[in-house]
């Protein structure tokens, strides 16, 4: 499939074991020390094993970890902006240090993967917080998660034995699968779009503007762990299916889910999201305002500016930067600050926080902000959640 962009690092990683090899490792894994891991770590395991996090073959060792914190690169110089690590219980340090392998289990005790213990090292959460999130305030959800973890990390290659159960299996594609789909559809230029929110008209505007110049759109919403006040993934998924059904050319869009957790790391996560979509086969990636942001921790366009620190060749994927877009009553349609000459009094702009509040109170956002079909799905979905 020479018509599809090469994965990050040049090789699409595959650490998923099957057949006799899986059977042999499963038998051995029963005798390894067992470490229970969270849903977030399970999602990282899946992303590593299927190649979404290529070129990673496991959780970062100390040398790569330090390099990512300081330089946004692995120790071999490959661009990588977010540390993907495995915290392990401090009280089990001596036990883990004595063995070559550990088994990683879910909360039900099922063995999901094995990891070769190549490194065992301690981290300082404040240092990581300030490097990755640019703050050490516990009000930041990414920082809060860091401080809840053990400061002891284990690094090494992993092998996936059992795929974690996933609620959106029908839309869950491995990078090898999306690459094959793009190839079969004849898509050479594919634009990826990351979201953890419903698609409102501003998002639709960006996606369709990009679609004018590429072969296909890969709509790739994140459905892993998010903040408690984000709209639930199942409600969002129904809203995506609804808007695609009514307003998008079906033959030019693929909807798939991104199983990873949200880090809320702003600029660094924008780079991370771009590299992941490159692994899925995207040659372009949309970066709008405040990508992966939370609160007021990052500047509106910091997630775009950070791309200037890397060359096009070493990133491999081309970012498409968009201004904040909105509906202008004077223009009579969607526009942005780059193209609209009118006063802000004519602009229909709502924050995500305000929209969530409106929806939770049964108030429909205006049609200039969100398609009526999407609003209906969101209001019904959230009402059912409250009633439960």
* Same domain flag for 236 and 348: yes
63: domain CATH number is 3.10.400.10
* Helix ranges restricted to H, the chain: 19-29, 39-50, 62-71, 93-97, 125-128, 141-148, 175-185, 201-211, 233-247, 267-280, 302-305, 312-315, 352-360, 372-387
Are residue 217 and residue 360 in the same domain, yes or no? Answer: yes
pLDDT in tens, 209-258: 999 999 999 999 999 999 888 889 999 999 999 999 999 999 999 999 99
- Bridge partners of 336, per DSSP, are 325
- Tell whether 218 and 183 lie within a shared domain: yes
Check whether 41 has a pLDDT greater than 60.
Answer: yes
Distance CA 388, CA 321 (A): 40
Q: What is the pLDDT of residue 386?
A: 58
Which phi and psi (to 5°) does residue 57 adopt?
-110, 0
The SS3 assignment for 157 reads: strand
Q: Is the pLDDT of residue 286 over 60?
A: yes
Counting residues of the chain whose pLDDT is more than 70, the rounded percentage is 99
153 given a catalytic annotation: no
What value does the mean pLDDT take over residues 186-204?
95
At residue 388 the predicted structure's pLDDT band, cuts being 50, 70 and 90, is very low
* Residues 173, 52 contacting (CB under 8 angstroms): no
Beta bridge partners of 120: 154
With DSSP H G I counted as helix, E B as strand and the rest as coil, what are the percentages for the chain, rounded to 5?
A: 40, 20, 40
273 located within any domain: no
Same structural domain, 184 and 254: yes
CA 150 to CA 152: how far, in whole Å?
5
User: Looking at 92, 163, 197, 252, which residue is catalytic?
Assistant: 197
Do 244 and 375 have their domain in common? Answer: yes
pLDDT above 50 for 196? yes
pLDDT at position 201 over 50: yes
CA 135 from centre of chain: 20
Longest dimension (CA), the chain: 70
Q: What is the pLDDT of residue 47?
A: 98
Q: Domain of 243? A: 169-258+323-387
Q: Does residue 201 share a domain with residue 132?
A: no
CATH number at residue 207: 3.40.50.620
- Is 232 found in the same domain as 173? yes
User: Cα–Cα–Cα angle for 258, 290, 362, nearest 5°?
Assistant: 75
Checking if the pLDDT of 348 tops 90, the result is yes
Residue 138 lies in a domain: yes
Write down which residue in 160, 192, 209 finishes a domain.
Answer: 160
Q: State mean pLDDT over 80-105.
A: 98
Q: Name, in order, each residue with C-beta under 8 angstroms of 237's C-beta and a sequence gap of 6 or more.
A: 168, 171, 221, 223, 257
Do residues 274 and 285 make contact, with C-beta atoms less than 8 angstroms apart? Answer: yes
At 99-130, the pLDDT tens digits run 999 999 999 999 999 999 999 999 999 999 99
Question: How is residue 175 written in tokens?
Answer: 């990078």
- Asked if 201 and 135 sit in the same domain, the reply is no
Is 148 annotated in the active site?
no
Q: Per the residue annotation, which of 179, 196, 277, 356 is the catalytic one? A: 196
**What value does the mean pLDDT of the chain take?**
95
Q: Give the end of a domain, one of 160, 182, 206.
A: 160
Number of structural domains in the chain: 2
Whether 228 and 246 have beta carbons less than 8 Å apart is answered as no
pLDDT 10s digits, 66-75: 999 999 999 9
Split at pLDDT 50, 70, 90, the class of 373 is very high
Same domain, 72 and 199: no
Q: Per the domain annotation, does 65 fall within a domain?
A: yes
Per-residue model confidence (pLDDT) at position 223: 94
Taking only the tens place, the pLDDT of each residue in 288-347 is 999 999 999 999 999 999 999 999 999 999 999 999 899 999 999 999 999 999 999 999
Q: Is the peptide bond before 312 cis (omega within 30 degrees of 0)?
A: no
CA distances from 75 to 78, 215, 314, 378 (A): 7, 35, 15, 44
Q: Which of 91, 126, 160 is the last residue of a domain?
A: 160
For residue 385, the model assigns a pLDDT of 67
How far apart CA 176 and CA 71 sit, in angstroms, is 29
Decide if 189 is inside a domain: yes
Residue the block writes with tokens 């959640």: 385
Burial of 310 (0-12, 13-18, 19+ CB in 10 A): middle
Q: Is the domain of 75 the same as that of 136?
A: yes
Pair (92, 195) in one structural domain = no
């Amino acid at each position: 499939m020479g018509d599809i962009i090469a994965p990050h690092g040049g090789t699409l990683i595959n650490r998923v074991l099957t057949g006799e090899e899986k059977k042999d490792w499963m038998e051995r894994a029963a005798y390894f020390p067992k470490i229970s891991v969270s849903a977030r770590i399970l999602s990282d395991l899946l992303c590593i094993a299927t190649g979404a996090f290529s070129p990673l073959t496991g959780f970062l060792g100390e040398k790569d970890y330090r390099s990512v914190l300081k330089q946004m690169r692995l120790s071999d110089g490959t661009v990588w902006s977010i540390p993907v690590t495995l915290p392990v219980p401090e009280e089990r340090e001596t036990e883990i240090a004595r063995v070559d392998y550990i088994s990683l289990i879910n909360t039900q005790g099922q063995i999901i993967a094995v990891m070769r213990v190549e490194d065992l090292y301690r981290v300082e959460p404040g240092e990581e917080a300030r490097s990755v999130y640019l703050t050490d305030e516990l009000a930041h959800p990414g920082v809060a998660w860091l401080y809840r973890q053990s400061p002891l990390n284990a690094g090494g290659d992993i092998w996936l034995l059992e795929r974690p159960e996933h609620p959106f299996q029908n839309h869950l594609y491995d990078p090898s699968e999306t690459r094959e789909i793009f190839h079969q559809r004849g898509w050479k230029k594919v634009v990826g779009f990351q979201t953890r929110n419903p698609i409102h008209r501003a998002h639709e505007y960006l996606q369709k503007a990009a679609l004018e110049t590429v072969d296909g759109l890969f709509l790739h919403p994140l459905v892993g762990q998010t903040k408690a006040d984000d709209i639930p993934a199942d409600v969002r998924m129904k809203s995506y299916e609804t808007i695609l059904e009514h307003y998008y050319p079906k033959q030019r869009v693929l909807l798939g889910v991104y199983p990873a957790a949200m880090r809320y790391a702003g600029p660094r996560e924008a780079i991370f999201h771009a590299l992941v979509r490159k692994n899925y086969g995207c040659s372009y990636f949309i970066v709008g305002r405040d990508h992966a942001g939370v609160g007021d921790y990052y500047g509106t366009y910091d997630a775009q500016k950070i791309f200037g620190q890397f060359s096009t060749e070493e990133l491999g994927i081309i970012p498409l930067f968009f201004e904040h877009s909105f509906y202008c009553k004077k223009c009579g349609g969607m526009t942005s600050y780059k193209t609209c000459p009118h006063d802000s009094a004519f602009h229909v702009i709502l924050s995500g926080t305000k929209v969530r509040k409106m929806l939770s109170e049964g108030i429909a956002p205006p049609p200039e902000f969100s398609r009526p079909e999407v609003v209906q799905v969101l209001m019904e979905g959230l009402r059912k959640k409250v009633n439960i």
